[in-house]
Homo-oligomer: A and B are copies of this chain.
Amino acid sequence: MLIRPYSPDDWDAVWTILEPVFRAGETYPVPRDISAADAKAAWTSGAKQVFVAVDDSSGHCLGTYYLRPNFEGAASHICNCGYVVSEQARGKGVAARMCEHSQTQAIARGYRAMQYNLVVSTNESAVHLWQKMGFAIIGSIPEAFRHPRLGFVDAHVMYKRLSPPAR
């Protein structure tokens, strides 16, 4: 598996990965009926740096993630990421590899911490993976996410320090 920067030529492959996840509406706070154009803007525009995980031999896209500042100004040392793995590539460690890669990228860019703002509590495999990767649940937002089958469920704010304590 190779993780490399996204280029606009990758969009069709990336959208193939994102679309079923956004349409399912169980993990990301994105409108389920979002258009491809709006999804492209949401995933790749602004201050985001986007990466793709591709299969070494076939070149197939296995997953994608973005890295961006989570806040500006006096809190711009905290970054945020979003990760999506292709349905065909689940359970192969792609998310863990992208998470590791994103932390290395974040440290190289001078970020001091990484924060996930809305980890849906019922997405247990994600919650457990991020905990395994060193992220802590620093708070839970009650009924933050309207799950299509489960109704209103909580979501976690998760955080990992990327550098030694400042104090």
Contact = CB atoms under 8 A, between A and B. Distances in A.
Contacts of A166: 143, 151-152
Copy total for this chain: 2
A113 interface: yes
Contacts of A77: 146
Interface residues of A, number: 40
Given A151-B167, A167-B152, A29 B145 contact: no
A73 B34 CA distance: 9
A112 B143 contact: yes
Contacts of A113: 141-144
B146 A159 contact: no
A67 interface: no
A51 B146 CA distance: 29
A146 B78 CA distance: 11
25 contacts: A28-B73, A29-B71, A29-B73, A29-B75, A29-B76, A30-B73, A34-B73, A71-B117, A71-B118, A75-B118, A75-B145, A75-B155, A77-B146, A78-B144, A113-B141, A117-B117, A138-B140, A138-B141, A138-B157, A141-B159, A142-B159, A143-B161, A143-B165, A143-B167, A152-B167
